[in-house]
Amino acid sequence: MKILRNYVLKEFLSAFLLSVFVLTFVMILGNLVRLAELIITKGVSLLLAGKLFLYLVPFLFSFILPIATLAAVLLSIGRLSSDNELIAIRSSGINLFRILLPVIIVGIILSLFCVILNSKIIPEAHHKSRQLMVEIGTQNPTAALEAGTFITAFDKFILFIYHIDGNKFSNIRIYEPQGENKPPRTIIAKKGEFILIPEKKILKLKLIDGTSDEINPSDPENFYKLNFKTYFMNIDYKKMTEKKVEKKSKDMTLPELKEQIRKFQEKGIDTSPILTESYKRIALSFSCLVFCILGAPFAMITRRREKSINFGFAFLIVACYYLMLIGFEALSIEGKLPPSAAMGMPNIIFGSIGIIALYKTCLS
């Protein structure tokens, strides 16, 4: 019995390491493109880009480990099933559950590790990455600018840039709020470029071919349109460099979230979003165990040994799991379901299906 258990465990661990390697390579490769863009087009130093990459790795592993666990179960048990080794073991009068027990124990160990990962390591890494982005912004504000989003990092202006290529940009809108119930001053330009003046903490914008709202001298409450070929404006980013990066919910460890929940409850503030975040981390951590329980009977039924097909099955099951998790998360935040029940529901549903299928498969 010990030899059989070690044999199954060896098959599982080999498939698990292979899955981790493949998934890590794919996910890192995708993010390296974004980091290369920061270095090449935005002038971020290699050291800062490397730090940003290191802070990203724990977040990637929160997805890699559950997917790799499921893929490993499908690969290892699927191969044993397709080679009729499980039939031979069952014919010897050995309960298949006893053979699969080491795999489930590994799933429990991985889940406990993911609890530490999701509750402490990832929040700290996420907070440090946000601090690093602010540091990058102080050295080169243009590196922190992102096309296609509203940029609110500056004191007086809100920017929306459709396309950024290094220090040049195209289709920019600049809004200068004038106060409550007053229309903002708006500047629109077809193209332009950034000119950084670091010693004065000023970002100069050279705008080309556009229009600007200028205050009407006879009626200061209104503006008139001014067309321009070239227009220069200065944006002070001094406050951007002095800005302290406060922790958001995603940056907090579980004890910190618990403390924030207590403070908000004392003030009568709805804590559903924070409770949802807490229970979501725990639910995601135990998805490794759930996928072990679900993957084993699924592999026995499908009897597939092809790696590509099993990886495809793994991604399909994980996609269904995460879609369900997102749906229940929305219901929890809206207050339609208690956070503990909502976030635990995907694990309960998938785990129940796995337990029933495992029971029937091992006894049939």
- The answer to whether the CB of 110 falls within 8 A of the CB of 65 is yes
What is the gyration radius of the CA atoms in the chain, in angstroms? 27
pLDDT confidence bin for 360, thresholds 50/70/90? confident
pLDDT confidence bin for 307, thresholds 50/70/90? low
pLDDT confidence bin for 364, thresholds 50/70/90? low
Name 273's Cβ contacts closer than 8 Å, sequence gap at least 6.
249, 333
- pLDDT higher for 346 or 44? 346
- The answer to whether the CB of 350 falls within 8 A of the CB of 321 is yes
Tens of pLDDT, residue by residue over 77-121, are 887 777 677 767 777 777 777 778 888 999 999 999 999 999 999
Give whole-number Cα distances, 293 to 162, 284, 310, 349, in Å. 47, 15, 16, 12
pLDDT confidence bin for 137, thresholds 50/70/90? low
Of 109, 53, 98, 99, nearest to 76 (Cα)? 99
**Average pLDDT, integer, range 186-208:** 82
Is the model's pLDDT at 274 over the cut of 70?
yes
Give, as one character, the DSSP assignment of residue 152: -
Percent of the chain with pLDDT over 70: 83
The per-residue DSSP string of 158-189 comes to EEEEEEEETTEEEEEEEEE--STTSPPEEEEE
pLDDT confidence bin for 27, thresholds 50/70/90? confident
pLDDT at 48: 77
Give whole-number Cα distances, 200 to 135, 195, 197, 204, in Å. 17, 12, 6, 11
For 261, other C-beta atoms within 10 Å of its C-beta total 16
Mean pLDDT comparison of 38-47, 54-63, 178-187, 310-319, highest-scoring range: 54-63
**Average pLDDT, integer, range 15-21:** 91
Is the model's pLDDT at 363 over the cut of 70?
no
Q: Is the pTM of this model over 0.75?
A: no
For 263, other C-beta atoms within 10 Å of its C-beta total 10
- pLDDT higher for 116 or 7? 116
pLDDT at 244: 61
pLDDT at 122: 92
- pLDDT higher for 245 or 112? 112
- pLDDT higher for 34 or 76? 76
Is the model's pLDDT at 52 over the cut of 90?
no
Percent of the chain with pLDDT over 90: 19
Alpha-carbon distance 6 to 72, whole Å? Answer: 15
pLDDT at 328: 93
The mean of the pLDDT values for the chain is: 81
Of 282, 285, 283, 301, nearest to 73 (Cα)? 301
